[in-house]
Amino acid sequence: MTTYITTPIYYVNAQPHLGHAYTTIVADVYSRFCRLCGDDVRFQTGTDEHGDKIAEAAIKEQVSPKEYVDRISALYRESWPQLHIIPDNFIRTTDAVHIETVQRVLQQVYDQGDIYFGEYTGLYCKGCERFLTEKELVNGNCPDHQRPPEAITEQNYFFRMSKYQQQLIDHIHANPEFITPERYKNEVLSFLSEPLEDLCISRPTSRLTWGIALPFDQNFVTYVWFDALINYLTGIGYPAGESFQKYWAAAEHVIAKDILKPHAIYWPTMLLAMGLPLFQRLHVHGYWNVGEIKMSKSIGNVVRPADLVAEYGVDTVRYFLLREMSFGLDASFSSGAIVTRKNSDLANDLGNLFSRSMAMLEKYTDSQVPVPGATEESDMILQETARQMLSQYHENMGRFQFHRALQSVWDLISHANKYIVVSEPWVLAKEPAQQQRLHTVLYNLVETLRLLTLVLRPVMPETAQKMAAGLGLDGDDPRISNFSQGAQWGLSSAGTRLQAIEPLFPRMDKPEKSGGAMAVTGTAAQKNSPKKEKKKGGGVDVGVIEFEQFQQIDLRVAEVVHAERIEKSDRLLKLTVKAPDTRTIVAGIAEYYTPGELLGRLVLIVANLKPVELMGVQSQGMVLAAKTEVEGKKRLVLATVSGLVTAGSKVA
Ligand code: MSP
């Protein structure tokens, strides 16, 4: 099989952030997964370097556009290896070969009569670099950029997009996986249920010169989307290149929902006009938000991938991003969530399974893979769990359901941890008659670890490499590097020497850092171990919770009737609140509020938290506050309600 996977090419008006990193990690993981399955894979990313936004950014920095794009493009290129992302090609729209290809396509489409000259008045959003329809506006604003588009009338060139509308609709119906997940396919079909307007594909050079000149009219440059989308062809040598022949038929694009319309409508109609086959699948994911707000430079809430790698390690970041986001839905980033995943899933579950197993093998078999004996029921169940994991993993990775694939891997990990507990190797080791049983159990653990190494390889390549070294396997041993050969039980060879390795994931006992919009203060929740918190929810996907789970939280309006400092603490205040019952809550807000200014205030509390003792005072709930920065300094601002509300009112 052949696979061609692409990311969007990123605008160079901003530096890479977690949102860009997520898409690129997804493409990297998928390309590694396909390679694991034996595919011939090409993975491409790059930068989008023409257009208004970029010309503006260069002016702001007082450098020429070329100098500017060279600098920012390099930042993208250099940041991917830090995340162990290895693209086969990094394309730039200022590359000469791309410019030539775009001009060739324009000339072809123009010559066949699908580009015409006309006048257009429309609502143009500079942020999106496209005209918006009335329907797309929210309260008169562009929903992504929160500002009204400008009304512009211009003479321009237009691509007859409408001509290909029906063909596109038919294609989407005939190919159910063309746009996935399904919600985005439905969004596109709903958009296509209205007549499509033709696409304005030029900008007059009087307004913009930083673009690719139209080959048939030098007074215009190419609209940035018509230029950018063609990167997917240029990067594989369209039209004559061997790679084009080989990879185009297998193209799959990964994007976020912000650029659905250009990819699901402009791009396929352009391909139809060029007479080319359409891409195979368009995979659309949601946004990474910080709190409720999309991460973006203009809002100023960006998280830098390099900072995360420095703090948590590359594999933790890769794992967290894939596990935490249900592909297609939005997810919320916080450092608390990443620490929780690291400690619970990686250190406790995976790390412990590995280190416990290796320690027992060292002690009981002198670090050699033992010869297994007869299989008992618990062994069969472990094998069956492994078999199910392999099939669910394979299916879900192929469908871009990474969180599900990882969930099934973690089901096996937790089953194997339980298998150790019920098998009690330390008891078996004491009885000479149980030696064979002990060896069977230890062999099964080695096998489980080998299968985990195989499936974790695309997501956490560094960790998989360490695990392979521990298991005494060469990195390119097919049993851990080839899914069709390795994904079966019983391939570990007795007698293989195991190696001692460092713990895979040292626990992080750091307190939660900033990053979440809502901070909780003076509560039991901070004291609970992350694992406990997660499992309480029934092991449900964190990131999204069920409505029923949310309903379990008793949020109430409370009135502060008394407040005082807690001796020996700079951080804590003891509040007496009415909600409507009178209770004491200890809140970590002393650095931001004096007791006097709290009297009579309405605050929001979590009323049904398990009480906890803080500095000798029992706290019966939690006060909600937003974490923010005022004049460069961190501060907590108490959450409240506006309007006439009585203390004790439920918040839902
Ligand atoms: N240059 C265009 C794409 C042209 S492709 C032919 C562009 N560039 S962009 O720099 O704005 O990148 C948008 C993409 O970055 C999104 O589609 C997504 O892949 C990624 N993300 C940017 N912010 C994101 C989040 N907050 N969350 C998730 N992904 C995000 O659009």
To test the pocket of ligand 1, the residue of 47, 258, 296, 329 to mutate (highest count of ligand atoms within 8 Å of its CB) is 258
CATH label of the domain that carries residue 310: 3.40.50.620
Q: 631: how many CB neighbours lie within 10 A of its CB?
A: 5
Known catalytic residue: 403?
A: no
**282 shares a domain with 392:** no
Cα gap 72→15, rounded to integer Å: 7
Number of domains in the chain: 3
Neighbours of 536 (CB within 10 A): 12
Please check whether residues 155 and 205 belong to one and the same domain: yes
296 pLDDT more than 80: no
153 part of a folded domain: yes
Task: Give the closest residue (by CA) to ligand 1 atom 20.
Answer: 20
Which of 170-184, 607-621, 638-652 shows the highest mean pLDDT?
Answer: 170-184
- Judge if 319 and 361 occupy the same domain: no
The answer as to whether 648 is a domain residue is no
What whole-number distance in Å separates Cα of residue 64 and Cα of residue 482?
48
Using the CB atoms, write b or e for 201-222: b if 16+ within 10 Å.
Answer: bbbebeebebbbbbbeeeebbb
- Nearest of 191, 81, 211 to residue 136 by alpha carbon: 191
The verdict on 308 and 344 lying in the same domain is no
Cβ contact 2:38 at 8 Å: no
The catalytically annotated residue of 34, 37, 50, 142 is 142
What pLDDT, on a 0 to 100 scale, did the predictor assign at position 528?
33
Same domain, residue pair 387 and 472 = yes
- DSSP tag of 209: -
- Kindly state whether residues 10 and 54 are assigned to the same domain: yes
Q: Which of 289, 309, 331 is the last residue of a domain?
A: 331
User: Do the Cβ atoms of 215 and 107 come closer than 8 Å?
Assistant: yes
- Same domain? 470 vs 552: no
Confidence of residue 14 (pLDDT cuts 50, 70, 90): confident
Report yes or no on 246 lying in a domain.
yes
- Mean pLDDT of the region 297-309: 86
Ligand 1 near 99 CB (within 6 A): no
Q: Specify if 541 maps to a domain.
A: yes
Which of 459, 486, 513 is at the close of a domain? 486
Q: Is 200 among the catalytic positions?
A: no
Strongest mean pLDDT among 27-31, 54-58, 590-594: 27-31
Query: Predicted confidence band at 543 (pLDDT cuts at 50, 70, 90)?
Result: low
Q: Where are the alpha helices (DSSP H) in 509-633?
A: 530-536, 547-551, 595-598
Say whether both 376 and 458 belong to one domain: yes
Q: Do 340 and 270 share a structural domain?
A: no
Instruction: List the domain range (segments joined by +) for residue 103.
Output: 2-331
pLDDT of 519: 31
From the list 34, 37, 125, 200, the catalytic residue is 125
pLDDT digits (tens, 9 = 90+) for 323-361: 999 999 999 999 899 999 999 999 999 999 999 999 999
pLDDT digits (tens, 9 = 90+) for 88-132: 999 999 999 999 999 999 999 999 999 999 998 889 888 887 888
- 550-608 confidence digits (pLDDT tens): 878 889 999 998 999 988 888 899 999 999 888 999 999 998 888 888 888 899 999 98
- Cβ of 258 closer than 6 Å to ligand 1, yes or no, is yes
Angle at 385 between CA 382 and CA 386, to 5 degrees: 85
Per-residue b or e along 128-157, where b marks 16 or more CB atoms closer than 10 Å to that residue's CB: bbbbbeeebeeeeebebeeeebeeeebebb
Domain membership of residue 500 (yes or no) is: no
Q: What is the DSSP letter of 43?
A: E
Q: Are residues 245 and 320 in the same domain?
A: yes
Candidates 22, 224, 229: which one to mutate for ligand 1, based on the most atoms within 8 Å of Cβ? Answer: 22
- How far, in Å, from the CA of 475 to the mean position of ligand 1? 34
In the chain, what is the straight-line distance between the N-terminal and C-terminal CA atoms, in Å?
A: 51
User: What's residue 254's pLDDT?
Assistant: 98
Report the alpha-carbon distance of residue 302 to residue 20 in Å, rounded: 11
Atom 13 in ligand 1: which residue has the minimum CA distance? Answer: 10
Question: Active-site residue among 34, 128, 261, 285?
Answer: 128
The β-bridge relationship of strands 213-214 and 573-578 is unpaired
What is residue 509's predicted lDDT score, i.e. its pLDDT? 58
Residue 503, preceding bond cis, omega within 30 degrees?
Answer: no
CB 517 within 8 A of CB 627: yes
Average pLDDT over residues 247-275: 98
Q: Is residue 497 part of a domain?
A: no
Q: Which atom of ligand 1 is closest in space to residue 13's alpha carbon?
A: 10
215 and 201 within one domain: yes
298 and 186 share one domain:
yes
Is residue 629 classed exposed, middle or buried when 0-12, 13-18 and 19+ CB atoms within 10 A define those classes? exposed
233 three-class SS:
helix
pLDDT computed for residue 510 by the predictor = 52
- Shortest-distance Cα residue to atom 24 of ligand 1: 19
Question: Quick check: 314 pLDDT over 90?
Answer: yes
HSE value, Cβ hemisphere, 13 Å, CA-based, for 145: 15
Residue 574 maps to which CATH number? 2.40.50.140
Mutation test residue for ligand 1: of 23, 212, 284, the one with most atoms within 8 Å of CB: 23
CA-nearest residue, atom 18 of ligand 1: 256
User: Residue 255 Cα, ligand 1 centroid: separation in angstroms?
Assistant: 7
pLDDT score for 517: 32
Q: Is 393 part of any domain?
A: yes
Here the CATH number for the domain that contains residue 339 is: 1.10.730.10
Give one DSSP letter per residue of 360-371, joined into a string. Answer: HHHHHHSSBPPP
Residue 526 confidence (pLDDT): 32
CA atoms of 357 and 428, how far apart (whole Å) = 14
In this predicted structure, what is the pLDDT of residue 327?
97
9 C-beta closer than 6 A to ligand 1: yes
Of 291, 308, 331, the one marking the end of a domain is 331
Note whether residue 230 is domain-resident.
yes
